[in-house]
């Protein structure tokens, strides 16, 4: 589990929406990124300004599948030139 604290209300709202919809969310800090499901969002009532502690369960990165480019289709105009 990955836990961090933030006071950015827009970021907290984004994580709440991701938690509600069951989607993954990505947190970026100092050039590194953590992607996973949001487990909890708890307000830290003793801090001024308001801050929230967010817990993310990291998700394994999906393997990259090598694909071949699709064959190029000839256009209608090429047939008559």
CA angle, residues 28, 33, 38, in degrees to nearest 5: 80
Q: What is the mean pLDDT of the chain?
A: 86
Range in 2-6, 55-59, 65-69 the model is least confident about: 65-69
- Residue carrying the six token digits 């509600």: 20
Q: Count how many residues are written for the chain.
A: 81
**Residue 78 pLDDT:** 61
Find the mean pLDDT for residues 12-35: 91
pLDDT one-digit tens code per residue, 25-64 = 998 888 888 899 999 999 988 888 899 999 999 987 777 7
- List, in order, residues 6 or more apart from 36 with CB less than 8 Å away: 2, 24, 25, 56, 57, 58, 59
Query: Which residues have a Cβ under 8 Å from the Cβ of 74 and sit 6 or more positions away?
Result: none
């Amino acid at each position: 589990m990955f836990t961090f604290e933030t006071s950015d209300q827009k970021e907290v709202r984004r994580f709440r929406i991701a938690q509600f919809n069951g989607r993954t969310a990505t947190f970026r800090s100092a050039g590194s990124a953590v992607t996973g499901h949001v487990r909890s969002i708890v307000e830290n009532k003793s801090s001024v300004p308001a801050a929230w502690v967010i817990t993310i369960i990291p998700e394994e990165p999906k393997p990259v599948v090598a694909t071949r480019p699709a064959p190029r289709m000839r256009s209608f105009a090429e047939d008559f030139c």
